[in-house]
Structure 1
Amino acid sequence: MPPAAKRGCRAPMCPGLTSERHGYCTQHEQLASGWNAPGRGTAEQRGYDSTWRKLARTILKRDGYRCRCAECNRLGRVLPAGEVDHRIPKFEGGTDDPGNLYAIHPDCHKRKTQAEAQRARSVQ
């Protein structure tokens, strides 16, 4: 198979070219978010396989497909949940135990994940 064609760097005004998946040239590769970082592995390699999907369906059903995040609970807000999250994140020692899992609305999940990512970066 021929190598991938080079395309423009995603950094604004950068004339550099790259064939990397993250889309940044070598000068700007530190701007990559880390979601496509080499060595991170696929979702299945990180433990989100068919067993996880089955467990997630069970948690969604247990929680009545309603968001159970701390903010929604505090505000008495009722939002539909379509995702499952860890109360204690895996990077902080959390497990896939059902007691550590709860249903969460996608927007709430994004907010919580951004806060966790910020915390993780400050620890490094």
Structure 2
Amino acid sequence: MPAAAPRPCRHPGCSALVRGSAYCATHQRAAAGSFADRARGTRQQRGYGSGWDARRKRILERDCGLCQQCLRDGRLTAVGDKPYSAWCDHIVPKAEGGSDADENLQTLCRACHQAKTDREKARGAARSRPIRD
């Protein structure tokens, strides 16, 4: 049986030809089936294992499936309980000293979570930027 023709790498903008893989050597993913970020570790290593899943479910139920930021802003936004439709968010981020205590957790919709994450990233970047004289 003849070998399959090489295909372009699936990474956007890369035209390297590959055989037997979706990505070229430059864009090859970590281990197959692994969603771990090498710098951050797996979700379990970061503290988001089965205990977190139970806590997340409890917080979504406590908040009645409503985005807490939208409520503070006078809007009523219902979120689902499926991953990526509702976020159980740390009010004070763990990177800034927050904890996993229930009183530090809130339900957010996708848009509010993204906006809050962007603000937190900006603060983190400002902290890590060297001060120039």
Please indicate, yes or no, whether the TM-score normalized by the shorter chain is above 0.5: yes
The answer to which structure has the higher helix fraction is: 1
SS at match of 1:103: strand
Shift of the 20–84 alpha-carbon distance from structure 1 to 2, 3 Å rule, reads same
SS at match of 2:68: coil
Q: 1:110 aligns with which of 92, 110, 114?
A: 114
Partner of 1:61: 61
**Count of aligned residue pairs for this structure pair:** 104
Partner of 2:73: 75
Q: What are structure 1's unaligned runs of at least 5 residues?
A: 1-6, 23-35
> Cα RMSD between the aligned structures?
2.7
CA deviations on 1:56-111 (whole Å, 9 max, x unpaired) are: 00000001000002xx2342111123221000000000000000001111111111
Q: What are structure 2's unaligned runs of at least 5 residues?
A: 1-8, 17-24, 31-35, 80-85, 129-133
**Hey, what's the Cα distance between the residues in 1 that align with 2:59 and 2:10?**
43
- Please say if 1:18 is aligned against 2:16: no
Shift of the 45–18 alpha-carbon distance from structure 1 to 2, 3 Å rule, reads same
The answer (yes or no) to whether the contact 1:8–1:18 under 8 Å persists in 2 is: no
**Structure possessing the higher radius of gyration over alpha carbons:** 2
TM-score (norm 2): 0.65
Partner of 2:40: 40
Partner of 1:50: 50
Residue 122 of structure 1, CA deviation: 1.0
TM-score (norm 1): 0.70
Query: Would you identify which runs of 4 or more consecutive aligned residues in structure 1 move more than 2 Å?
Result: 7-10, 19-22, 36-39
- Please say if 1:122 is aligned against 2:130: no
Residue 45 of structure 1, CA deviation: 1.0
